[in-house]
């Protein structure tokens, strides 16, 4: 299996991608962001609803994000065409007739729990009930800090990373991870619909390094990472540690350090990606030092991921078709890639 798979070069269209954090799209102004190689412009209409249009004027391809907002419309500041929030051109200088083709593509958008989701495919198929539940992002029972990293790497390499936590013992040995014992455990991997479910337990081991500033226990802990990765690359993870015996699958998680992680990888182009993440804690809610320490640890860890993934991308660039050797630890990764390739192939067959 090489990265030169369908998934790396053709993008899934009929799916929800995380496009932005809510706070990135302000009441005034506009956000320009490219997703699946399409330039997009996002803004809020006067009712606060997020609008997403193709950031390319239908006339001469100037980006609307260089334009001017006029109420709920946007004016291209090259030659003055005015578009409403549905992408329909409503004014053309020097001519009264507006051709039906004078419009820019509008994309279905849903804003939910601080994330703005966009549907890049057929609008009539945009079913908001398909959006994964990420209420942890703004649930009062959880605390966390929004994060974003831009990657000069294909997004599937980032998804690969999320699908195999073996790397915690190596990439994150001194931060989010810990001993080699973690890599030695085997997760339970199942596939359901458009997601891969991974459940991983480390019983009776020292707490991970990053926990030292968050919580202490008299002895060892049981540690869990229970998560799913949903197409095209959204991770939803229940994780935590509790005193050994109380955390384990049948335990009651008494006095646990519990976390919920929401992460999303969104392709910008074939070689660049957006990465959105928030790790929320469900304990010590009123202690900002815990939130801050967790935020710092998570970012440090994710920079370690970025470092190895960019290195991997550099090596792959020298020989994109180099073979990769499938190992047992790749079960979830392989399952996800197969699912993604299949979904893309199905879309291609329909068009």
Q: How far is the CB of 46 from a second copy (least distance, A)?
A: 22
Tokens of 250: 């049948």
Q: How far is the CB of 238 from a second copy (least distance, A)?
A: 21
Q: How far is the CB of 328 from a second copy (least distance, A)?
A: 4
Place of tokens 């729990």: 113
* Cβ nearer to a second copy, comparing 66 with 112: 66
* Cβ nearer to a second copy, comparing 23 with 328: 328
* Cβ nearer to a second copy, comparing 36 with 295: 36
* Cβ nearer to a second copy, comparing 137 with 157: 157
Q: How far is the CB of 205 from a second copy (least distance, A)?
A: 15
Q: How far is the CB of 343 from a second copy (least distance, A)?
A: 22
* Cβ nearer to a second copy, comparing 78 with 201: 78
The contact set with a second copy (CB under 8 A) reads 3, 34, 37-39, 55-56, 58-63, 66, 75-80, 92-95, 99, 101-102, 160, 164, 166-167, 169-171, 173, 180, 183-186, 269, 307-308, 311-312, 314-316, 318-319, 322-325, 327-330
């Amino acid at each position: 299996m090489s990265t030169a798979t369908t998934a790396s070069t053709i993008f899934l269209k009929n799916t929800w991608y995380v496009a932005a954090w809510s706070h990135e799209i302000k009441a005034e102004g506009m956000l320009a962001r490219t997703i699946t190689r399409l330039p997009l412009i996002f803004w809020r209409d006067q009712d606060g609803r997020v609008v997403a249009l193709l950031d390319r004027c239908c006339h001469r391809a100037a980006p609307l994000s260089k334009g001017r907002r006029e109420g709920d419309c946007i004016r291209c500041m090259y030659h003055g065409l005015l578009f409403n929030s549905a992408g329909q051109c409503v004014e053309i200088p020097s001519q009264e007739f507006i051709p039906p083709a004078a419009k820019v593509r509008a994309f279905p958008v849903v804003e939910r729990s601080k994330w703005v989701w966009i549907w890049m495919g057929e609008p009539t198929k945009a079913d908001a009930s398909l959006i994964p539940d990420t209420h942890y992002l703004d649930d009062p029972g959880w605390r966390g800090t929004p994060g974003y990293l831009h990657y000069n790497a294909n997004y599937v390499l980032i998804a690969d990373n999320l699908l195999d936590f073996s790397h915690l013992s190596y990439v994150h040995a001194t931060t989010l991870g810990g001993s080699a014992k973690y890599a030695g455990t085997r997760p339970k991997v199942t596939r359901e619909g458009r997601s891969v479910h991974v459940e991983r337990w480390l019983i009776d081991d020292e707490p991970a390094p990053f926990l030292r500033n968050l919580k202490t226990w008299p002895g060892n802990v049981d540690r869990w990472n229970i998560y799913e990765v949903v197409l095209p690359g959204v991770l939803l993870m229940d994780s935590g540690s509790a005193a050994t015996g109380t955390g384990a699958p049948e335990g009651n998680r008494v006095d646990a350090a519990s976390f919920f992680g929401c992460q999303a990888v969104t392709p910008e182009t074939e070689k660049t990606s957006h990465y959105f993440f928030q790790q929320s804690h469900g304990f010590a809610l009123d202690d900002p030092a815990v939130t801050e320490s967790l935020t710092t640890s998570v970012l440090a860890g994710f920079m370690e991921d970025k470092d190895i993934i960019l290195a991997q991308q550099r090596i792959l660039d020298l020989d994109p078709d180099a073979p990769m050797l499938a190992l047992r630890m790749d079960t979830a990764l392989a399952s996800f890639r197969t699912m993604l390739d299949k979904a893309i192939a199905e879309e291609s067959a329909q068009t």
